[in-house]
Amino acid sequence: MCSHRLDKSIAEHLDSPCYGSLSTGTFVRHFKFEDGLDAVAEYLGLPIPLPQIDATDEADKPTLSAEQEARVRQIYAADIALWESLS
């Protein structure tokens, strides 16, 4: 959430998050990231197993203060609860 838009500061992301919690509904299907990537590929008819490439540059990851991390956890509380229920 905080590293997707590099044109915004972390504070701007947290003041006005552009991503909300996962939606739910009749036609919604959730997959657990990252353990469920092959399941996603299979669901979409893609060849599996998917290739795995770690393209994350550590320098691109933001460092959050304790208050900022608490705000992210508040914004995504429903998603965190869902993740923990699947673990």
Q: Who has greater pLDDT, 1 or 71? A: 71
The pLDDT value recorded for residue 84 is 86
The amino acid that residue 68 corresponds to is: Q
What pTM was computed for the model?
Answer: 0.47
Dist CA 72 CA 78 (whole Å): 11
Average pLDDT score, the chain = 79
What would the pLDDT profile of 53-75 be if each residue is shown by its tens digit? Answer: 777 777 777 788 999 999 989 98
Q: Tokens representing 3? A: 């590293």
What would the pLDDT profile of 16-55 be if each residue is shown by its tens digit? Answer: 776 666 666 666 777 777 778 888 889 889 999 888 777 7
CB 2 within 8 A of CB 64: yes
